[in-house]
Amino acid sequence: MPLYEYRCTECGEKFEVRQSMGGDGSKLNCPKCQAGKPEKLFSTFFSSGSSEPSDMSFPSSCPTGTCGLPPM
């Protein structure tokens, strides 16, 4: 499950939340001041610079993407 990082817009507290794909964090609350609607920061999972997750190119069970390929 992807790990998302949020920042509270009220107190600036940063916190990480594991949530399912597509979650926008609108139901989250700051763990420090309980303010709602934290600002979403970069996911630590998809920090490759692309906003389009390219999971389709390799199975998720293979982190390198080379597990199912024949040896060079």
* Residues engaged in binding Zn ion (CB under 5 A): 8, 10-11, 13, 30, 32-33, 35
Cβ nearer to Zn ion, comparing 36 with 59: 36
Cβ nearer to Zn ion, comparing 12 with 53: 12
Nearest distance from residue 11's CB to Zn ion, in Å?
3
Nearest distance from residue 36's CB to Zn ion, in Å?
10
Cβ nearer to Zn ion, comparing 37 with 46: 37
What are the phi and psi torsion angles at 57 (to 5°)?
-80, -20
Closest residue by Cα to residue 17 from 32, 30, 5, 29: 5
Nearest distance from residue 49's CB to Zn ion, in Å?
28
CA distance 66 to 64: 5
What are the C-alpha distances in Å from 43 to residues 6, 60, 68, 69, 70? 9, 17, 27, 28, 31
